[in-house]
Structure 1
Amino acid sequence: MHILLTGGTGLIGRQLCRHWLAQGHRLSVWSRRPEQVAKLCGAQVKGVATLEELGQEPVDAVINLAGAPIADRPWTRKRKAVLWSSRISLTETLLAWLETRGQRPSVLVSGSAVGWYGDGGERELTEESPPVSEDFASHVCIAWEETAQRAQALGIRVVLVRTGLVLAAEGGFLSRLLLPFKLALGGPIGNGRQWMPWIHINDQIALIDFLVHENGASGPYNACAPHPVRNAEFAQTLGRVLHRPAFMPMPTFVLRVLLGEMSGLLLGGQRAMPEKLLAAGFTFQFTDLRAALDDVAARL
Protein backbone atom coordinates (compact mmCIF):
# COMPACT_ATOMS: atom_id res chain seq x y z
CA MET A 1 0.00 0.00 0.00
CA HIS A 2 0.98 3.61 -0.52
CA ILE A 3 0.03 5.50 2.64
CA LEU A 4 0.04 9.30 2.98
CA LEU A 5 0.39 10.78 6.46
CA THR A 6 -0.07 14.30 7.76
CA GLY A 7 1.48 14.84 11.18
CA GLY A 8 3.84 12.02 10.32
CA THR A 9 6.74 13.53 12.28
CA GLY A 10 4.75 13.62 15.54
CA LEU A 11 4.78 11.01 18.28
CA ILE A 12 2.11 8.73 16.77
CA GLY A 13 3.13 9.44 13.17
CA ARG A 14 6.75 8.39 13.72
CA GLN A 15 5.68 5.12 15.30
CA LEU A 16 3.21 4.44 12.48
CA CYS A 17 5.97 4.96 9.93
CA ARG A 18 8.23 2.45 11.67
CA HIS A 19 5.39 -0.04 11.92
CA TRP A 20 4.35 0.22 8.28
CA LEU A 21 7.89 0.33 6.91
CA ALA A 22 8.51 -2.98 8.66
CA GLN A 23 5.45 -4.34 6.83
CA GLY A 24 6.82 -3.20 3.48
CA HIS A 25 4.38 -0.36 2.77
CA ARG A 26 5.34 2.78 0.83
CA LEU A 27 4.99 5.97 2.85
CA SER A 28 4.76 9.69 2.09
CA VAL A 29 4.57 12.42 4.74
CA TRP A 30 3.16 15.89 4.07
CA SER A 31 5.20 18.19 6.29
CA ARG A 32 6.21 21.81 6.76
CA ARG A 33 9.79 20.50 7.07
CA PRO A 34 10.04 17.74 4.45
CA GLU A 35 13.84 17.71 4.71
CA GLN A 36 13.52 16.26 8.23
CA VAL A 37 11.09 13.49 7.35
CA ALA A 38 13.65 10.84 6.41
CA LYS A 39 15.59 11.41 9.63
CA LEU A 40 12.52 11.33 11.88
CA CYS A 41 10.38 8.77 10.12
CA GLY A 42 12.80 6.52 8.25
CA ALA A 43 15.14 6.78 5.29
CA GLN A 44 12.61 5.24 2.91
CA VAL A 45 9.83 7.71 3.79
CA LYS A 46 9.22 10.46 1.22
CA GLY A 47 8.70 13.97 2.58
CA VAL A 48 6.66 16.48 0.55
CA ALA A 49 6.05 20.16 1.23
CA THR A 50 2.93 20.24 -0.96
CA LEU A 51 0.45 17.54 -1.93
CA GLU A 52 0.91 18.45 -5.58
CA GLU A 53 4.40 16.92 -5.40
CA LEU A 54 2.71 13.51 -5.36
CA GLY A 55 1.33 14.10 -8.83
CA GLN A 56 -1.22 11.45 -9.80
CA GLU A 57 0.68 8.72 -7.97
CA PRO A 58 -2.00 6.41 -6.47
CA VAL A 59 -2.54 6.70 -2.71
CA ASP A 60 -4.35 3.83 -0.98
CA ALA A 61 -4.88 5.32 2.49
CA VAL A 62 -4.56 8.72 4.17
CA ILE A 63 -3.78 9.17 7.86
CA ASN A 64 -4.56 12.73 8.97
CA LEU A 65 -2.89 13.46 12.33
CA ALA A 66 -1.56 16.98 11.83
CA GLY A 67 -2.22 19.55 14.53
CA ALA A 68 -0.24 21.91 16.75
CA PRO A 69 0.11 20.58 20.34
CA ILE A 70 -2.98 21.67 22.24
CA ALA A 71 -1.47 21.75 25.74
CA ASP A 72 1.92 23.33 25.06
CA ARG A 73 1.00 26.88 26.05
CA PRO A 74 -1.98 28.95 27.26
CA TRP A 75 -4.83 29.55 24.84
CA THR A 76 -4.36 33.14 23.80
CA ARG A 77 -6.40 34.35 20.85
CA LYS A 78 -3.36 33.86 18.59
CA ARG A 79 -2.73 30.34 19.93
CA LYS A 80 -6.36 29.36 19.38
CA ALA A 81 -6.08 30.46 15.76
CA VAL A 82 -3.00 28.27 15.32
CA LEU A 83 -4.71 25.25 16.91
CA TRP A 84 -7.75 25.70 14.68
CA SER A 85 -5.84 26.30 11.45
CA SER A 86 -3.42 23.40 11.98
CA ARG A 87 -6.37 21.00 12.18
CA ILE A 88 -9.45 22.27 10.41
CA SER A 89 -7.85 24.44 7.71
CA LEU A 90 -5.25 21.77 6.94
CA THR A 91 -7.95 19.11 6.65
CA GLU A 92 -9.91 21.37 4.28
CA THR A 93 -6.79 21.65 2.10
CA LEU A 94 -6.43 17.87 2.17
CA LEU A 95 -10.07 17.44 1.09
CA ALA A 96 -9.67 19.90 -1.77
CA TRP A 97 -6.70 17.87 -2.99
CA LEU A 98 -8.58 14.57 -2.69
CA GLU A 99 -11.38 16.03 -4.79
CA THR A 100 -8.96 16.57 -7.70
CA ARG A 101 -7.71 12.99 -7.64
CA GLY A 102 -8.52 10.62 -10.45
CA GLN A 103 -7.88 7.66 -8.16
CA ARG A 104 -8.89 8.30 -4.56
CA PRO A 105 -7.77 6.43 -1.47
CA SER A 106 -10.17 3.87 -0.03
CA VAL A 107 -9.89 5.17 3.54
CA LEU A 108 -9.18 8.36 5.47
CA VAL A 109 -8.27 7.92 9.13
CA SER A 110 -8.51 11.33 10.75
CA GLY A 111 -7.33 12.37 14.19
CA SER A 112 -9.52 13.59 17.01
CA ALA A 113 -9.48 13.31 20.80
CA VAL A 114 -11.67 12.24 23.70
CA GLY A 115 -11.87 15.98 24.37
CA TRP A 116 -14.65 15.86 21.73
CA TYR A 117 -17.02 15.04 24.61
CA GLY A 118 -15.94 17.98 26.79
CA ASP A 119 -15.72 17.39 30.54
CA GLY A 120 -17.78 14.24 30.99
CA GLY A 121 -17.84 14.17 34.77
CA GLU A 122 -18.96 10.73 35.99
CA ARG A 123 -20.74 9.71 32.77
CA GLU A 124 -19.47 6.65 30.93
CA LEU A 125 -18.85 7.80 27.37
CA THR A 126 -19.14 5.55 24.33
CA GLU A 127 -19.00 6.55 20.69
CA GLU A 128 -22.78 6.92 20.77
CA SER A 129 -22.63 9.56 23.53
CA PRO A 130 -23.20 13.21 22.54
CA PRO A 131 -20.85 15.99 23.67
CA VAL A 132 -21.43 16.59 27.38
CA SER A 133 -20.08 20.10 27.83
CA GLU A 134 -18.73 22.81 25.57
CA ASP A 135 -15.22 24.25 25.66
CA PHE A 136 -12.64 25.30 23.10
CA ALA A 137 -11.02 21.85 22.84
CA SER A 138 -14.42 20.24 22.27
CA HIS A 139 -15.31 22.78 19.57
CA VAL A 140 -12.02 22.12 17.77
CA CYS A 141 -12.53 18.33 17.83
CA ILE A 142 -16.14 18.61 16.64
CA ALA A 143 -15.17 20.87 13.73
CA TRP A 144 -12.17 18.66 12.89
CA GLU A 145 -14.36 15.57 12.67
CA GLU A 146 -17.10 17.30 10.69
CA THR A 147 -14.52 18.51 8.17
CA ALA A 148 -12.98 15.06 7.74
CA GLN A 149 -16.40 13.42 7.34
CA ARG A 150 -16.94 15.42 4.15
CA ALA A 151 -14.61 12.91 2.44
CA GLN A 152 -17.50 10.42 2.52
CA ALA A 153 -19.10 12.39 -0.30
CA LEU A 154 -16.01 11.53 -2.37
CA GLY A 155 -16.56 7.81 -1.88
CA ILE A 156 -13.88 7.50 0.82
CA ARG A 157 -14.41 5.50 4.01
CA VAL A 158 -13.82 7.85 6.96
CA VAL A 159 -12.61 6.72 10.39
CA LEU A 160 -12.31 9.18 13.29
CA VAL A 161 -9.87 8.26 16.07
CA ARG A 162 -10.70 9.93 19.40
CA THR A 163 -7.42 9.45 21.22
CA GLY A 164 -6.92 9.52 24.97
CA LEU A 165 -3.67 10.23 26.83
CA VAL A 166 -0.92 8.33 25.03
CA LEU A 167 1.67 6.59 27.22
CA ALA A 168 5.00 6.59 25.40
CA ALA A 169 8.69 6.85 26.22
CA GLU A 170 9.50 9.03 23.22
CA GLY A 171 7.45 12.09 24.14
CA GLY A 172 3.92 13.16 24.88
CA PHE A 173 2.40 14.18 28.18
CA LEU A 174 4.26 11.51 30.21
CA SER A 175 7.62 13.12 29.48
CA ARG A 176 6.34 16.37 31.04
CA LEU A 177 5.42 14.58 34.26
CA LEU A 178 8.78 12.88 34.61
CA LEU A 179 10.75 15.74 36.16
CA PRO A 180 8.25 16.79 38.88
CA PHE A 181 7.71 13.17 39.89
CA LYS A 182 11.44 12.44 40.02
CA LEU A 183 11.81 15.53 42.24
CA ALA A 184 9.08 14.12 44.51
CA LEU A 185 6.76 16.97 43.46
CA GLY A 186 4.23 14.80 41.66
CA GLY A 187 0.68 14.24 42.78
CA PRO A 188 -2.99 14.61 41.89
CA ILE A 189 -4.34 17.58 39.98
CA GLY A 190 -7.16 19.48 41.67
CA ASN A 191 -9.32 17.03 43.61
CA GLY A 192 -7.88 14.10 41.64
CA ARG A 193 -11.32 12.66 40.86
CA GLN A 194 -11.36 13.48 37.14
CA TRP A 195 -11.22 10.48 34.82
CA MET A 196 -8.13 9.92 32.64
CA PRO A 197 -8.66 7.80 29.50
CA TRP A 198 -5.20 6.43 28.64
CA ILE A 199 -3.68 4.22 25.97
CA HIS A 200 -0.27 2.63 25.47
CA ILE A 201 1.50 3.74 22.28
CA ASN A 202 1.67 0.13 21.03
CA ASP A 203 -2.11 -0.17 21.19
CA GLN A 204 -2.56 3.22 19.52
CA ILE A 205 -0.47 2.09 16.55
CA ALA A 206 -2.13 -1.32 16.41
CA LEU A 207 -5.69 0.09 16.43
CA ILE A 208 -4.96 2.57 13.63
CA ASP A 209 -3.50 -0.27 11.56
CA PHE A 210 -6.57 -2.38 12.44
CA LEU A 211 -9.00 0.34 11.37
CA VAL A 212 -7.18 0.94 8.07
CA HIS A 213 -7.58 -2.71 7.12
CA GLU A 214 -11.04 -3.30 8.63
CA ASN A 215 -13.22 -2.49 5.63
CA GLY A 216 -16.39 -2.25 7.72
CA ALA A 217 -14.92 0.32 10.11
CA SER A 218 -16.21 3.88 9.85
CA GLY A 219 -17.12 6.83 12.05
CA PRO A 220 -15.71 7.57 15.51
CA TYR A 221 -13.70 5.19 17.68
CA ASN A 222 -12.54 5.88 21.24
CA ALA A 223 -8.81 5.14 21.23
CA CYS A 224 -8.30 4.41 24.91
CA ALA A 225 -7.83 1.34 27.09
CA PRO A 226 -10.97 -0.34 28.50
CA HIS A 227 -10.13 0.70 32.07
CA PRO A 228 -9.80 4.49 32.54
CA VAL A 229 -8.59 5.63 35.96
CA ARG A 230 -9.07 8.70 38.09
CA ASN A 231 -6.29 11.27 38.16
CA ALA A 232 -5.35 10.45 41.77
CA GLU A 233 -4.94 6.75 40.92
CA PHE A 234 -2.86 7.62 37.87
CA ALA A 235 -0.55 9.80 40.01
CA GLN A 236 -0.18 7.10 42.66
CA THR A 237 0.57 4.42 40.07
CA LEU A 238 3.14 6.57 38.28
CA GLY A 239 4.78 7.35 41.62
CA ARG A 240 5.08 3.65 42.43
CA VAL A 241 6.53 2.88 39.00
CA LEU A 242 9.14 5.65 39.41
CA HIS A 243 9.70 4.80 43.10
CA ARG A 244 8.75 8.32 44.11
CA PRO A 245 6.05 9.73 46.38
CA ALA A 246 2.96 11.22 44.74
CA PHE A 247 1.36 13.31 47.45
CA MET A 248 2.00 16.88 46.25
CA PRO A 249 -1.35 18.11 44.87
CA MET A 250 -1.64 20.88 42.29
CA PRO A 251 -4.42 23.16 43.63
CA THR A 252 -7.23 24.06 41.28
CA PHE A 253 -6.88 27.81 41.79
CA VAL A 254 -3.16 27.70 40.91
CA LEU A 255 -3.88 25.97 37.62
CA ARG A 256 -6.62 28.44 36.76
CA VAL A 257 -4.27 31.37 37.43
CA LEU A 258 -1.35 29.85 35.50
CA LEU A 259 -3.20 28.36 32.53
CA GLY A 260 -6.50 30.20 32.34
CA GLU A 261 -9.01 28.53 30.04
CA MET A 262 -6.58 25.71 29.19
CA SER A 263 -6.71 24.49 32.82
CA GLY A 264 -9.97 22.76 31.89
CA LEU A 265 -7.94 20.13 30.04
CA LEU A 266 -6.36 19.06 33.33
CA LEU A 267 -9.26 19.64 35.71
CA GLY A 268 -11.86 17.92 33.54
CA GLY A 269 -11.88 14.40 32.19
CA GLN A 270 -13.67 11.73 30.21
CA ARG A 271 -14.67 8.25 31.34
CA ALA A 272 -14.37 7.09 27.73
CA MET A 273 -14.82 3.45 26.76
CA PRO A 274 -13.62 1.81 23.49
CA GLU A 275 -16.96 0.12 22.86
CA LYS A 276 -16.75 0.06 19.06
CA LEU A 277 -13.16 -1.23 18.97
CA LEU A 278 -14.01 -4.10 21.30
CA ALA A 279 -17.15 -4.92 19.31
CA ALA A 280 -15.07 -5.00 16.10
CA GLY A 281 -12.75 -7.59 17.64
CA PHE A 282 -9.72 -5.43 18.44
CA THR A 283 -7.58 -6.82 21.27
CA PHE A 284 -5.67 -4.45 23.53
CA GLN A 285 -2.16 -5.46 24.57
CA PHE A 286 -2.27 -3.22 27.65
CA THR A 287 -5.46 -2.97 29.72
CA ASP A 288 -3.80 -2.50 33.14
CA LEU A 289 -2.30 0.92 33.88
CA ARG A 290 0.53 -0.40 36.08
CA ALA A 291 1.65 -2.85 33.38
CA ALA A 292 1.50 -0.12 30.73
CA LEU A 293 3.54 2.33 32.83
CA ASP A 294 6.05 -0.37 33.78
CA ASP A 295 6.62 -1.08 30.10
CA VAL A 296 7.05 2.58 29.19
CA ALA A 297 9.20 3.42 32.24
CA ALA A 298 11.71 0.75 31.25
CA ARG A 299 12.54 2.89 28.20
CA LEU A 300 12.26 6.39 29.69
Structure 2
Amino acid sequence: MTDAPVSASPTGGRRRGLVRGLLRRRTAVLALGWLLLLTLATAAAPLVTGHGPLDQDLNSVLTGPTRAHLLGTDTLGRDLLSRLLFGGRSTLFAVAEAVVVYLVIGVTAGLASGYLGGWVDWVIARTADLVFALPGIVVILVVLAVFPGNLHAAMVTFGVIGSPGLIRILRAQTLRVREELYVAAARVAGLSRPQILRRHILPRLTSTVVVQAALFAAIVVTVQAGLGFLGLGAPPPAPSWGGLVADASQVIDRDPWMLLPAGLPLVITVVALALLGDAVRDASVEAWAPTAPAVGGRRAPHPPPGGRPRRRRPRQR
Protein backbone atom coordinates (compact mmCIF):
# COMPACT_ATOMS: atom_id res chain seq x y z
CA MET A 1 0.00 0.00 0.00
CA THR A 2 1.12 3.50 -0.76
CA ASP A 3 0.67 6.44 1.48
CA ALA A 4 -2.12 8.84 0.67
CA PRO A 5 -0.90 12.01 -0.99
CA VAL A 6 -0.63 15.04 1.18
CA SER A 7 -2.89 17.90 0.10
CA ALA A 8 -0.75 20.53 -1.58
CA SER A 9 -0.73 24.19 -0.87
CA PRO A 10 -2.95 26.17 -3.26
CA THR A 11 -0.42 28.98 -3.57
CA GLY A 12 0.95 28.02 -7.00
CA GLY A 13 -2.22 28.60 -9.04
CA ARG A 14 -3.20 31.59 -6.89
CA ARG A 15 0.17 33.20 -7.53
CA ARG A 16 -0.24 32.85 -11.31
CA GLY A 17 -3.73 34.29 -10.99
CA LEU A 18 -2.27 37.21 -9.03
CA VAL A 19 0.24 37.96 -11.80
CA ARG A 20 -2.43 37.75 -14.51
CA GLY A 21 -4.78 39.97 -12.52
CA LEU A 22 -1.98 42.48 -11.98
CA LEU A 23 -1.13 42.65 -15.69
CA ARG A 24 -4.79 43.25 -16.57
CA ARG A 25 -4.77 46.49 -14.60
CA ARG A 26 -3.69 49.52 -16.58
CA THR A 27 -2.50 51.42 -13.51
CA ALA A 28 -0.25 48.53 -12.49
CA VAL A 29 1.26 48.27 -15.97
CA LEU A 30 1.90 52.02 -16.11
CA ALA A 31 3.43 52.05 -12.64
CA LEU A 32 5.69 49.08 -13.41
CA GLY A 33 6.65 50.67 -16.74
CA TRP A 34 7.65 53.94 -15.10
CA LEU A 35 9.69 52.22 -12.38
CA LEU A 36 11.44 50.00 -14.93
CA LEU A 37 12.16 52.97 -17.21
CA LEU A 38 13.51 54.99 -14.29
CA THR A 39 15.76 52.14 -13.16
CA LEU A 40 17.17 51.58 -16.65
CA ALA A 41 17.66 55.31 -17.27
CA THR A 42 19.53 55.85 -14.01
CA ALA A 43 21.66 52.75 -14.55
CA ALA A 44 22.59 53.91 -18.06
CA ALA A 45 22.87 57.60 -17.18
CA PRO A 46 26.25 58.13 -18.96
CA LEU A 47 24.72 56.76 -22.16
CA VAL A 48 21.47 58.74 -21.94
CA THR A 49 23.10 62.12 -21.50
CA GLY A 50 26.40 63.35 -22.84
CA HIS A 51 27.03 65.67 -19.88
CA GLY A 52 28.40 64.91 -16.45
CA PRO A 53 26.43 65.89 -13.35
CA LEU A 54 29.16 68.32 -12.28
CA ASP A 55 30.06 69.78 -15.70
CA GLN A 56 29.49 73.55 -15.77
CA ASP A 57 28.70 75.78 -18.74
CA LEU A 58 28.58 79.36 -17.50
CA ASN A 59 27.47 80.55 -20.94
CA SER A 60 24.25 78.53 -20.54
CA VAL A 61 22.72 79.36 -17.17
CA LEU A 62 18.99 78.75 -16.55
CA THR A 63 18.45 78.24 -20.26
CA GLY A 64 15.41 76.00 -20.16
CA PRO A 65 15.04 73.09 -22.61
CA THR A 66 17.42 73.32 -25.57
CA ARG A 67 18.89 70.89 -28.07
CA ALA A 68 22.12 70.70 -26.08
CA HIS A 69 20.34 70.43 -22.72
CA LEU A 70 17.01 68.64 -23.06
CA LEU A 71 15.76 69.65 -19.60
CA GLY A 72 17.70 72.90 -19.32
CA THR A 73 20.45 73.95 -16.91
CA ASP A 74 20.69 75.21 -13.34
CA THR A 75 22.29 78.32 -11.87
CA LEU A 76 25.80 77.01 -12.60
CA GLY A 77 25.06 75.79 -16.10
CA ARG A 78 24.92 72.13 -15.11
CA ASP A 79 22.72 69.84 -17.20
CA LEU A 80 19.49 69.07 -15.32
CA LEU A 81 18.88 65.75 -17.10
CA SER A 82 22.31 64.51 -16.07
CA ARG A 83 21.87 65.63 -12.48
CA LEU A 84 18.37 64.12 -12.39
CA LEU A 85 19.56 60.69 -13.58
CA PHE A 86 22.70 60.57 -11.47
CA GLY A 87 20.72 61.83 -8.47
CA GLY A 88 18.17 59.09 -9.12
CA ARG A 89 20.91 56.53 -8.56
CA SER A 90 21.41 57.62 -4.97
CA THR A 91 17.64 57.82 -4.46
CA LEU A 92 16.94 54.31 -5.75
CA PHE A 93 19.91 52.87 -3.88
CA ALA A 94 18.70 54.50 -0.65
CA VAL A 95 15.21 53.10 -1.23
CA ALA A 96 16.66 49.62 -1.85
CA GLU A 97 18.67 49.75 1.38
CA ALA A 98 15.71 50.78 3.49
CA VAL A 99 13.30 48.29 1.88
CA VAL A 100 15.74 45.36 2.22
CA VAL A 101 16.23 46.05 5.94
CA TYR A 102 12.46 46.54 6.32
CA LEU A 103 11.66 43.20 4.66
CA VAL A 104 14.39 41.15 6.35
CA ILE A 105 13.37 42.24 9.84
CA GLY A 106 9.63 42.46 9.22
CA VAL A 107 9.15 39.16 7.39
CA THR A 108 11.43 37.13 9.65
CA ALA A 109 10.07 38.48 12.93
CA GLY A 110 6.45 38.55 11.74
CA LEU A 111 6.44 34.90 10.64
CA ALA A 112 8.28 33.74 13.76
CA SER A 113 5.95 35.66 16.06
CA GLY A 114 2.77 34.41 14.41
CA TYR A 115 3.75 30.77 13.89
CA LEU A 116 5.86 29.94 16.93
CA GLY A 117 3.85 31.84 19.54
CA GLY A 118 4.71 31.55 23.22
CA TRP A 119 7.63 33.49 24.60
CA VAL A 120 8.96 34.17 21.08
CA ASP A 121 5.73 35.94 20.20
CA TRP A 122 5.82 37.91 23.45
CA VAL A 123 9.42 39.11 22.99
CA ILE A 124 8.94 40.09 19.34
CA ALA A 125 5.62 41.83 19.98
CA ARG A 126 6.94 43.86 22.93
CA THR A 127 10.10 44.84 21.02
CA ALA A 128 8.01 45.89 18.01
CA ASP A 129 5.78 48.01 20.24
CA LEU A 130 8.83 49.70 21.74
CA VAL A 131 10.38 50.52 18.35
CA PHE A 132 7.01 51.56 16.96
CA ALA A 133 6.72 54.20 19.70
CA LEU A 134 9.97 55.90 18.68
CA PRO A 135 9.66 59.10 16.59
CA GLY A 136 11.21 58.06 13.30
CA ILE A 137 12.23 61.45 11.94
CA VAL A 138 13.85 62.43 15.23
CA VAL A 139 15.86 59.20 15.33
CA ILE A 140 17.04 59.74 11.73
CA LEU A 141 18.12 63.29 12.55
CA VAL A 142 20.08 61.99 15.52
CA VAL A 143 21.79 59.40 13.31
CA LEU A 144 22.70 62.08 10.78
CA ALA A 145 24.05 64.25 13.60
CA VAL A 146 26.30 61.39 14.70
CA PHE A 147 27.21 60.40 11.11
CA PRO A 148 26.99 63.64 9.08
CA GLY A 149 26.08 63.11 5.44
CA ASN A 150 25.89 59.31 5.85
CA LEU A 151 22.67 58.57 3.99
CA HIS A 152 23.28 54.81 4.20
CA ALA A 153 23.13 54.84 8.00
CA ALA A 154 19.97 56.97 7.86
CA MET A 155 18.18 54.61 5.45
CA VAL A 156 19.16 51.48 7.40
CA THR A 157 17.86 53.14 10.55
CA PHE A 158 14.62 54.07 8.79
CA GLY A 159 14.18 50.47 7.65
CA VAL A 160 14.56 49.26 11.25
CA ILE A 161 12.10 51.85 12.55
CA GLY A 162 9.51 51.03 9.89
CA SER A 163 9.66 47.23 10.33
CA PRO A 164 7.28 46.99 13.35
CA GLY A 165 4.34 47.87 11.12
CA LEU A 166 5.10 44.92 8.84
CA ILE A 167 5.70 42.66 11.85
CA ARG A 168 2.22 43.38 13.20
CA ILE A 169 0.52 42.74 9.85
CA LEU A 170 2.36 39.49 9.09
CA ARG A 171 1.88 38.23 12.65
CA ALA A 172 -1.88 38.66 12.41
CA GLN A 173 -2.06 36.94 9.03
CA THR A 174 0.26 34.11 10.06
CA LEU A 175 -2.00 33.35 13.04
CA ARG A 176 -4.86 32.88 10.58
CA VAL A 177 -2.99 31.00 7.83
CA ARG A 178 -1.37 28.48 10.19
CA GLU A 179 -4.85 27.07 10.94
CA GLU A 180 -5.51 26.22 7.26
CA LEU A 181 -5.96 22.56 6.35
CA TYR A 182 -3.00 22.37 3.99
CA VAL A 183 -0.72 23.66 6.76
CA ALA A 184 -2.08 21.04 9.13
CA ALA A 185 -1.53 18.37 6.46
CA ALA A 186 2.07 19.50 5.99
CA ARG A 187 2.58 19.35 9.75
CA VAL A 188 1.17 15.81 9.91
CA ALA A 189 3.38 14.79 6.98
CA GLY A 190 6.43 15.58 9.08
CA LEU A 191 7.67 18.80 7.50
CA SER A 192 9.82 20.93 9.75
CA ARG A 193 8.83 24.41 10.85
CA PRO A 194 11.20 26.18 8.43
CA GLN A 195 9.86 24.07 5.56
CA ILE A 196 6.25 24.87 6.44
CA LEU A 197 7.02 28.56 6.73
CA ARG A 198 8.94 28.65 3.45
CA ARG A 199 6.67 26.41 1.33
CA HIS A 200 3.19 27.01 2.67
CA ILE A 201 2.87 30.15 4.78
CA LEU A 202 5.24 32.67 3.20
CA PRO A 203 3.86 32.21 -0.36
CA ARG A 204 0.38 32.87 1.01
CA LEU A 205 1.58 36.22 2.39
CA THR A 206 3.53 37.29 -0.71
CA SER A 207 0.94 39.79 -1.89
CA THR A 208 0.78 41.43 1.54
CA VAL A 209 4.56 41.72 1.63
CA VAL A 210 4.67 43.30 -1.84
CA VAL A 211 1.93 45.80 -0.98
CA GLN A 212 3.60 46.89 2.23
CA ALA A 213 7.02 47.07 0.56
CA ALA A 214 5.66 49.30 -2.24
CA LEU A 215 3.97 51.66 0.19
CA PHE A 216 7.05 51.79 2.40
CA ALA A 217 9.23 52.52 -0.64
CA ALA A 218 7.01 55.51 -1.48
CA ILE A 219 7.53 56.82 2.06
CA VAL A 220 11.29 56.29 1.77
CA VAL A 221 11.44 58.29 -1.47
CA THR A 222 9.63 61.17 0.22
CA VAL A 223 11.83 61.06 3.33
CA GLN A 224 15.03 60.84 1.28
CA ALA A 225 13.98 63.82 -0.84
CA GLY A 226 13.08 65.76 2.29
CA LEU A 227 16.50 65.12 3.77
CA GLY A 228 18.11 66.27 0.54
CA PHE A 229 15.97 69.40 0.50
CA LEU A 230 17.16 70.26 4.02
CA GLY A 231 20.78 69.66 3.03
CA LEU A 232 21.08 66.50 5.15
CA GLY A 233 21.42 64.07 2.27
CA ALA A 234 24.24 63.78 -0.25
CA PRO A 235 26.70 66.63 0.35
CA PRO A 236 26.85 69.19 -2.47
CA PRO A 237 27.77 69.35 -5.29
CA ALA A 238 26.67 65.70 -5.50
CA PRO A 239 23.23 65.54 -7.18
CA SER A 240 20.11 64.37 -5.37
CA TRP A 241 16.40 64.79 -6.05
CA GLY A 242 15.83 66.72 -2.86
CA GLY A 243 18.81 68.95 -3.64
CA LEU A 244 17.41 69.67 -7.11
CA VAL A 245 14.11 70.76 -5.59
CA ALA A 246 15.97 72.98 -3.13
CA ASP A 247 17.97 74.60 -5.95
CA ALA A 248 14.81 75.14 -7.99
CA SER A 249 13.00 76.76 -5.06
CA GLN A 250 15.75 79.38 -4.78
CA VAL A 251 15.33 80.58 -8.38
CA ILE A 252 11.60 80.00 -8.82
CA ASP A 253 11.03 83.73 -9.40
CA ARG A 254 13.60 83.81 -12.24
CA ASP A 255 13.15 80.35 -13.78
CA PRO A 256 9.95 78.49 -12.78
CA TRP A 257 10.73 75.79 -15.36
CA MET A 258 13.54 74.36 -13.24
CA LEU A 259 11.06 73.15 -10.62
CA LEU A 260 9.30 70.92 -13.17
CA PRO A 261 12.17 68.53 -14.06
CA ALA A 262 13.32 68.62 -10.44
CA GLY A 263 9.99 67.77 -8.79
CA LEU A 264 7.89 65.95 -11.40
CA PRO A 265 9.91 62.67 -11.44
CA LEU A 266 9.76 62.62 -7.65
CA VAL A 267 5.98 62.96 -7.63
CA ILE A 268 5.48 60.38 -10.39
CA THR A 269 7.69 57.86 -8.59
CA VAL A 270 5.79 58.21 -5.32
CA VAL A 271 2.43 57.93 -7.10
CA ALA A 272 3.63 54.91 -9.12
CA LEU A 273 4.68 53.05 -5.98
CA ALA A 274 1.37 53.82 -4.27
CA LEU A 275 -0.65 52.71 -7.32
CA LEU A 276 1.40 49.53 -7.60
CA GLY A 277 0.63 48.69 -3.99
CA ASP A 278 -3.09 49.27 -4.52
CA ALA A 279 -3.09 47.16 -7.70
CA VAL A 280 -1.32 44.25 -5.99
CA ARG A 281 -3.81 44.41 -3.12
CA ASP A 282 -6.83 44.34 -5.46
CA ALA A 283 -5.37 41.56 -7.60
CA SER A 284 -4.60 39.45 -4.52
CA VAL A 285 -8.19 39.82 -3.28
CA GLU A 286 -9.45 38.46 -6.62
CA ALA A 287 -6.84 35.68 -6.76
CA TRP A 288 -7.65 34.39 -3.28
CA ALA A 289 -11.41 34.86 -3.48
CA PRO A 290 -13.25 31.56 -2.90
CA THR A 291 -14.64 30.05 -6.08
CA ALA A 292 -18.08 28.50 -6.16
CA PRO A 293 -18.30 24.76 -6.95
CA ALA A 294 -19.29 23.64 -10.41
CA VAL A 295 -22.99 22.80 -10.87
CA GLY A 296 -24.22 20.81 -13.87
CA GLY A 297 -20.88 21.06 -15.68
CA ARG A 298 -20.74 24.84 -15.24
CA ARG A 299 -19.15 26.90 -12.53
CA ALA A 300 -21.75 28.63 -10.43
CA PRO A 301 -21.51 32.42 -10.44
CA HIS A 302 -19.96 34.22 -7.49
CA PRO A 303 -22.46 35.64 -5.03
CA PRO A 304 -22.59 39.41 -4.81
CA PRO A 305 -20.69 41.22 -2.02
CA GLY A 306 -23.86 41.19 0.06
CA GLY A 307 -23.66 37.43 0.48
CA ARG A 308 -26.72 35.67 -1.06
CA PRO A 309 -27.48 35.82 -4.80
CA ARG A 310 -30.34 38.04 -5.77
CA ARG A 311 -33.63 36.50 -6.80
CA ARG A 312 -35.94 37.91 -9.38
CA ARG A 313 -39.19 39.14 -8.01
CA PRO A 314 -42.35 37.89 -9.71
CA ARG A 315 -44.08 40.42 -11.85
CA GLN A 316 -47.24 41.87 -10.40
CA ARG A 317 -50.26 41.68 -12.68
What TM-score, normalized by structure 1, do the two folds share?
Answer: 0.24
* Structure number with bigger Rg: 2
State the structure with bigger RCO (CA 8 A, min sep 6), 1 or 2.
2
